[in-house]
Structure 1
Amino acid sequence: MTNAPSRSGRRVEHWDPDDEDFWERGAKYIARRNLIVSVLSEHVGFSVWSLWSVLVLFMSPRTGLGFTPGEKFLLVVVPTLVGAVLRLPYSHAVTRFGGRNWTVFSSAVLLVPTGCALYFVQRPGTPLWVFLLIGAAAGAGGGNFASSMTNISHFFPRRRQGWALGVNAGGGNLGVAVVQLLGLLVIATSGSGHPEYVVAVYLPLIVVVSVLAALSMDNIQAVRTAPGAQREAAANPHTWWISLLYVGTFGSFIGYGFAFGLVLQDEFGCTALRAASYTFLGPLLGSLFRPLGGRLADRLGGARVTCWTFLALAAGTGALLVASRSRSFPLFVTAFTALFVLSGIGNGSTYKMIPAVFAQQARRARAAGEPAASALDRARRLSGAVMGIAGALGALGGVAVDLAFRAAYDGPHGSGTPAFWGFLGYYAVCVGVTWAVYLRRPLNARPSVLAVAPVASAVAVPAPVSGEADRV
């Protein structure tokens, strides 16, 4: 077997990054090049997906787009929901069509909702249903996360996956902060009557990213998997435990990111300019801290970092309840920003748990006699499938957050307090699950928890280079 990547056109036929010699003989350069373009593509996808969290700040009777608070929250919920639903087929699509091919398509297709948004936001009197349809199409940008993460997870060795996935996801998550910062600049310089300026920026960026993906990315044979990986993953109980945790971390990040501006307007009566002045900061910090969460998980273990993160999220939510009751705007913004940072750390640590869990299951299967040659491929494709499932359910958590806010602020005297109590309860559940399933006893000493359906039980991979790489 060759110890260097072999390429045919834009397809890499042999790929084994866990082989240190293979990695140093050119694989790391291929992986990093694909990671850079993947980050750019996912960043633009997140920006288009979260575009409506900014556009709703421009909507007022003065612009001819005067929707109620409930209708604005609905405009935020619809893209979140569609993006969540698309994550499962997107994670599968990259294994069917190849990482490069799917990235080109999934980036270029964003021209449709962006072009439609540019046209209709300049048309006063446009009915709500038109914007809902455009927002639904913009949800395709949220699906890019699942295909991107599934693709990049195959490029890097397990010992580096926490960092690589953190960088990839963090760079994508930055799209939420960047589009909100762009909205702030437009409102500050041109007023709240020109939402088209925000949208127009992304049309050329989508074209550039699509071309870069076509010219610089690769399809690797390792990503091409047989059908059925998602069914196998669904039979593994860890798929659902980790998804529940990811609902708490990523659901918080994306739900808060989409709703923060509207929450400030409804909770404290902020103007569009004042709300936009704060909305970008939380998603920015949360995105920057996501790689740190992956790095900490590489060193300390994903479950340990995740558990402490949920405890801190619960404390931050308690601070929000105090701030809301006392009408303290500084405390409210500070606590909300802390929640973004913590959710970013939790995103990185929770995602790192996925390959670690399968690596530990693989060692058990290998000890039972499974050949190592086929084990690596199965472990990777199951990890990729779980990333798609967890990513989809995590984004649905964002839908739940936004619906909770919509219900809480419905009516002339609405308050976020009921929603905050609900979030606090969920974080408490996540603390309990993390401790009971992953921390109470060593994972590799719990065969009953590791038991999976027969079709998925034969996962086996070579022993990791570093014991830290597989620590849950």
Structure 2
Amino acid sequence: MAGRPAVLRRKRTIEDWNAEDVAAWEAGGKRVARRNLIWSIGAEHIGFSIWSIWSVLVLMMPQPIYHIDAVGKFYLVAMPTLVGALMRIPYTVATARFGGRNWTVFSALLLLVPTLLTMYYMANPASYTTYLVVAAAAGVGGGNFSSSMTNINAFYPQRLKGWALGLNAGGGNIGVPAVQLLGLAIIAVLGRTYSGDGRQAAVLCSIYLALIVIAALGAFLFMDNLRDQKADLSAMARMLKHRESWVMSVLYIGTFGSFIGYSFAFGQILNINFTAELTEAAQALQGSERVAALRAVAGDASLRAAQIAFLGPLLGSLVRPLGGRLADRFGGGRITLYTFLTMALAASVVVATGLHNGHRAPTHAELWWYVVGFILLFVLSGIGNGSTYKMIPSIFEAKSKSVAGDAAAWSRNMSGALIGFAGALGAFGGVLINMVLRASYAATKSATNAFVVFLAFYAVCAVITWAVFLRRPSGVALDVIETIRPAATSATQPVRA
């Protein structure tokens, strides 16, 4: 035993953990929490990448080879979103049952299954149903978010939860633009004209197979299990009895649902618009030039879409910790209200551009107005993601004041349960976004009608936020809209790890 490296000799389970004990936190608790946060972000990041990998793959699937049109591809990107939403409920309670470290290792290794399936079937074109099943398998990556957030929620004190949860979620969310940026590089290197032999997908999947192993190994070596986590299904049932739980779930549909829905759909929408623009330009040519230009449309449109698509998810991910920080400073309710109001304005930019465009191929200027509107929505949804997750622990911190027994444990368990439930409904909002977009394109060959619906929903979310948390604040709402100040130093309780 003496000859084993220290990292292998370290205990894997922390018997008692009190993040609110300031002395214990400063004496070593924050280093333990930071170490778990770093590797939690890494594993969650890879999970998000696998979850959203089909937003890239649809750009690598020319219709003549795979026989899937633009409308059908909206179902392909919606399937992993749907499965990821469903997986978030069991993943929420998994860390309490199996331990945060143990579950992170297992859930990371599970990502090998959809990655290998994707690699095989992209190289061997199959039926549309097969691709729906393979895309659905990638949904397991969406569950990683809930288990990671529930686990990190238990490691950090109330005064730092907004920043820690925002950083954890933001680092995970960056997995979306990361896989899209990597896909762009692969498309650019291997050429614009797709042969349909799956080479691009094989390179992409091979890289992630290696990253999955690294994430699982890092979690195995450096993360810890907390003995006293109790975010179980009974806690989730008790959590749902509180009105604020349902309100927060609706608000999270508007923030995270928007982020993940647009992340999956943005590249496809850009691809449709660039295809229309390039096709119209090619039709104006004559003879062999026209034939060559039409043949290059699919590859050129996909490359142009990939060059832009990653920017929205990247910016939305980067600002998510900022949303948590702003909520720590000014209150989650206020930041969330302002976020929804400005999201409605950003959606109106897309609607106005669509109405100006009508049903013709978009001009270059109109395409850029679409991009501006989308980028604003990504950034605002990222800020809203951080602020809404700050509100969740604040709500139950306030409610715990009237709870008999261990109020801190009750607050932690209720918050963890709501994080999982709201995360699941938020991801389901991403499914709805893709379904509304598909219906809009099927009916009018435009996204304008879909964004009218989204604009109205953001306005409703703003009204809900104001009515519940700002109009006449209750004791619970006051804790949500006010800054949570550091707790007074308590008696030292050592951390045994």
TM-score by length of 2: 0.85
Alignment of 1:307-326 (within 5 A): 307-326=337-356
Q: Report what 1:460 is aligned to.
A: none
Q: Report what 1:159 is aligned to.
A: 159
Deviates more, 1:278-287 or 1:193-202: 193-202
- Say if 1:77 and 1:304 are closer, same or farther in 2 by CA, change over 3 A: same
Quote the Cα distance in structure 1 between the aligned partners of 2:309 and 2:173: 14
Deviates more, 1:109-118 or 1:186-195: 186-195
Contact 1:44 1:175 in 2 (8 A): yes
Contact 1:99 1:223 in 2 (8 A): no
Q: Report what 2:184 is aligned to.
A: 184
Contact 1:317 1:420 in 2 (8 A): yes
Residue identity opposite 2:144 in structure 1? N
Unaligned regions of 5+ residues in structure 1, if any? 1-6, 451-462, 468-472
Residue identity opposite 2:83 in structure 1? V
Structure 1 residue corresponding to 2:384, chosen from 333, 346, 350: 346
The 3-state SS of whatever aligns with 2:163 is helix
Contact 1:93 1:147 in 2 (8 A): yes
Please tell me whether residue 419 in structure 1 is matched to residue 450 in structure 2.
yes
Alignment of 1:135-214 (within 5 A): 135-191=135-191, 192-193=194-195, 194-214=200-220
Q: Report what 2:437 is aligned to.
A: 405
Contact 2:93 2:232 in 1 (8 A): no
Quote the Cα distance in structure 2 between the aligned partners of 1:134 and 1:302: 38
Please tell me whether residue 269 in structure 1 is matched to residue 301 in structure 2.
no
- Say if 1:314 and 1:225 are closer, same or farther in 2 by CA, change over 3 A: closer
Deviations 1:184-207 (A, max 9, x none): 111111124422222221001101
Quote the Cα distance in structure 2 between the aligned partners of 1:66 and 1:466: 60
TM-score by length of 1: 0.90
Quote the Cα distance in structure 2 between the aligned partners of 1:230 and 1:256: 28
Deviations 1:275-316 (A, max 9, x none): 111100000000000000000000000010000000000000
Structure 1 residue corresponding to 2:310, chosen from 272, 277, 280: 280
Offset, 1:117: 0.5
Contact 2:152 2:164 in 1 (8 A): yes
Structure 2 residue corresponding to 1:37, chosen from 29, 36, 39: 39
Structure with bigger gyration radius: 2
Structure 1 residue corresponding to 2:326, chosen from 279, 282, 296: 296
- Say if 1:181 and 1:122 are closer, same or farther in 2 by CA, change over 3 A: same
Offset, 1:442: 2.2
Offset, 1:445: 7.4
Offset, 1:9: 2.3
Contact 2:319 2:382 in 1 (8 A): yes
- Say if 1:141 and 1:466 are closer, same or farther in 2 by CA, change over 3 A: same
Deviations 1:428-456 (A, max 9, x none): 11000000000012230789xx9xxxxxx
Quote the Cα distance in structure 1 between the aligned partners of 2:21 and 2:134: 46
Deviations 1:217-255 (A, max 9, x none): 000123245651111111111110000000000000000
Quote the Cα distance in structure 1 between the aligned partners of 2:12 and 2:79: 36
Quote the Cα distance in structure 2 between the aligned partners of 1:226 and 1:51: 30
Q: Report what 2:26 is aligned to.
A: 24
Offset, 1:94: 1.2
- Identical columns (%): 50
- Say if 1:232 and 1:333 are closer, same or farther in 2 by CA, change over 3 A: same
Q: Report what 1:393 is aligned to.
A: 425
- Say if 1:123 and 1:433 are closer, same or farther in 2 by CA, change over 3 A: same
Offset, 1:133: 1.1
Offset, 1:332: 0.9
- Say if 1:68 and 1:172 are closer, same or farther in 2 by CA, change over 3 A: same
Residue identity opposite 1:146 in structure 2? S
Contact 2:85 2:425 in 1 (8 A): yes
Offset, 1:65: 1.3
The 3-state SS of whatever aligns with 2:15 is strand
Alignment of 1:107-122 (within 5 A): 107-122=108-123
Q: Give the aligned length.
A: 439
Residue identity opposite 1:95 in structure 2? A
Alignment of 1:209-220 (within 5 A): 209-220=215-226
Contact 1:99 1:151 in 2 (8 A): yes
Offset, 1:420: 0.3
Please tell me whether residue 332 in structure 1 is matched to residue 370 in structure 2.
yes
Q: Report what 1:130 is aligned to.
A: 130
Quote the Cα distance in structure 2 between the aligned partners of 1:46 and 1:238: 28
